[in-house]
């Protein structure tokens, strides 16, 4: 997956990394080992890689090129664990893995970004018409909420469905407003609330 150049801009990649892990210094202090982001999350490592939502086989495919076989096995123990089960696991075995920043970034740009770019392309029409900033803003949204939301009929995903419609109609100028409207779902001032604004601004920059 590393042979195809990324469509997302460097600014978009940086946005996702900062939103997920707050940058290198913070990562090295808090995220080299398993963390539990609360709620329905699983044990999370690297740049927001949630082991609760992948299989042991997927972990093998995603991480084997970047870390030792022993560390891959330690990650696989966490596959499928979510919620309080994941919380207890992290309390007991949080330091069973150590993934340095360089390895986390190599895995993210070499494996996760190509994977999520492909998912966004599969979910949305006309992505080839977007700049790296605008496309990358949608990748950030998909990485955070899942690309299934672009077609989910539930009220919680209304704005993501609207984005799908705007993409089909090539009404790209309407999309930043959907990022902003989506903030109704989160508490003002929270991390995800701010992230939607950052994504809206990046998408808008890509339209210029």
Whether the per-residue pLDDT at 17 is higher than 50: the answer is yes
Binning pLDDT at 50, 70 and 90, where does residue 30 land?
confident
DSSP letter string over 117-153? HHHHHHHSTTGGGS-HHHHHHHHHHHHHH-GGGGS--
> Structural domain boundaries of the chain?
33-99, 109-207
Residue ranges with strand state E in the chain: 44-45, 49-50
User: What is the per-residue pLDDT across 149-160, written as a single tens digit (0 to 9) for each?
Assistant: 999 999 999 999
Mean pLDDT of 47-69: 95
Residue 48 has a pLDDT of: 87
Q: What is the pTM of this model?
A: 0.86
pLDDT(40) > 60: yes
Structure tokens at 166: 């705007």
pLDDT tens sequence across 84-143: 999 999 999 999 999 999 999 999 999 999 999 999 999 999 999 999 999 999 999 999
Q: What is the pLDDT of residues 170-186, one digit of tens each?
A: 999 999 999 999 999 99
Model confidence band, residue 23 (pLDDT cutoffs 50, 70, 90)? confident
- How high is the pLDDT of residue 3? 56
Q: Percentage of the chain surpassing pLDDT 90?
A: 91
């Amino acid at each position: 997956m590393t042979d195809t150049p990324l469509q997302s801009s460097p600014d978009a990649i940086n946005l996702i990394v900062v939103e997920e892990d707050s940058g290198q210094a913070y990562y090295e202090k808090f995220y080299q080992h398993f963390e539990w982001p609360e709620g329905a999350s699983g044990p999370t490592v690297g740049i927001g890689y949630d082991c609760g939502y992948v299989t042991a086989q997927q972990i093998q495919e995603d991480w084997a090129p970047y870390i030792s076989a022993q560390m891959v096995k330690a990650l696989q123990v966490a596959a499928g664990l979510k919620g309080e089960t994941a919380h207890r696991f992290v309390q007991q075995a949080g330091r069973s893995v150590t993934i340095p920043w360089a390895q986390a970034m190599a895995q993210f740009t070499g494996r996760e970004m190509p994977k999520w770019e492909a998912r966004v392309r599969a979910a949305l029409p006309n992505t080839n018409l977007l700049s790296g900033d605008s496309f990358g803003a949608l990748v950030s949204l998909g990485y955070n909420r899942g690309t299934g939301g672009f077609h989910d009929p539930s009220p919680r995903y209304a704005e993501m469905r609207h984005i799908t419609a705007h993409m089909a109609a090539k009404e790209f100028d309407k999309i930043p407003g959907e990022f902003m409207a989506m903030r109704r779902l989160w508490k003002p001032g929270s991390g995800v609330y701010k992230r939607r604004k950052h994504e809206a601004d990046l998408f808008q920059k890509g339209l210029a």
